[in-house]
A and B are shown apart, each in its own frame.
Chain A
Amino acid sequence: MQNPLARVRGAGSSGEGSHHWRSQRYSALILLLLTPWVLMTGVSLAGADYPTAIATMSSPFNAGMAIMLAGSLFYHIQLGLQVVIEDYIHIAILEFALLLIVRFACIVAFLISAIAALQLALGA
């Protein structure tokens, strides 16, 4: 999928070859691997009170999984919304603005979740 010829030709009309396509699949695979943890943790924390939720999220394992989930989830969201915007928004300036906003929002969302998860794990 990454033939040296692609680099010479400018990697196709997208300018980045199959990078977006592969990233979407890799992030999907990571999310798939995280699914059992998401389901178990989600069900066990459904309707949980504050001390129970704190106890669960303060374990290093759960904090690590939460940060991993936030990273792959918001990356996957950015890639997915990008395709939807590119497919349906045909006003160039609006498309550009939306793509920037989605990118920015996903990075900020990841940073906030990572900091919150670390704060819970470190008990600060």
Chain B
Amino acid sequence: MVIGRKRVVAATSEFDFREKGQQTMSSSKRPMSPYMLGPYYKFQITSVLSILNRLTGVFMSVVTAPLLLCWLVALASGDEAFMGLSTWLGSILGKLVIAASVFSFSFHLFGGIRHLIWDAGWMLEISQVRASGWIAVIASLLLSLAVLGAGL
């Protein structure tokens, strides 16, 4: 029994669900839903793009949108405020934020288009979902590079 219990505890700490019937599985270590990333789950374009869409959305909500707001307010405030923000945007940190914003925008744009297509009831076969995922990755990389190239 002791050996069996030890085995279950070890399995629990690795999020292994093979011992589903055991009592120890109701411990607090048990995740609320399958953890789809990292070493616990096979790589799938679908789950990676799903979380990327969320992360890029949150990043733009917290960084990009407030930055756009600051730009507009600085412009309305006058020459000095606008030049101050422009100088910061020209710094290395500013350029990094712009590049991250452009990449996030492109990923979220094509990820969103994919969602709208699904919501219309189209391209829901798993092969189509995988294909549209890779198309979205390539398209967003191309758009990001085009925008960053044109903006430089």
Chain A residues close to B by CB (< 8 Å): 25, 28-29, 31-32, 35, 39, 42-43, 46-47, 49-50, 53-54, 57, 66, 70, 73-74, 77, 80-81, 84, 109, 112-113, 116-117, 119-120
Q: Report the bound CA distance from A96 to B66 in whole Å.
A: 22
Choice from A49, A80, A112 contacting B73 with Cβ under 8 Å: A112
Choice from A32, A46, A47, A119 contacting B76 with Cβ under 8 Å: A119
State whether A113 touches B72 (Cβ < 8 A). yes
Interface of A, helix, strand, loop or mixed by DSSP: helix
Q: Report the bound CA distance from A29 to B113 in whole Å.
A: 9
Confirm or deny: B15 has a beta carbon within 8 angstroms of a beta carbon on chain A: no
Q: Report the bound CA distance from A75 to B90 in whole Å.
A: 30
Closest Cβ–Cβ distance, residue B109 to chain A (whole Å)? 7
Q: Report the bound CA distance from A112 to B112 in whole Å.
A: 27
State whether B72 touches A116 (Cβ < 8 A). yes
State whether A42 touches B151 (Cβ < 8 A). yes
Closest Cβ–Cβ distance, residue B80 to chain A (whole Å)? 9
Choice from B57, B66, B116 contacting A29 with Cβ under 8 Å: B116
Chain B residues close to A by CB (< 8 Å): 54, 57-58, 60-61, 65-66, 68-69, 72-73, 75-76, 79, 82-83, 86, 90, 109, 112-113, 115-116, 119, 147, 150-152
State whether A53 touches B73 (Cβ < 8 A). no
State whether B73 touches A47 (Cβ < 8 A). no
Choice from A29, A43, A73 contacting B147 with Cβ under 8 Å: A43
Q: Counting chain A CB atoms within 10 Å of each CB, which of B61, B82, B83, B119 scores highest?
A: B61
State whether A116 touches B75 (Cβ < 8 A). yes
Q: Report the bound CA distance from A66 to B69 in whole Å.
A: 10
State whether A50 touches B151 (Cβ < 8 A). no
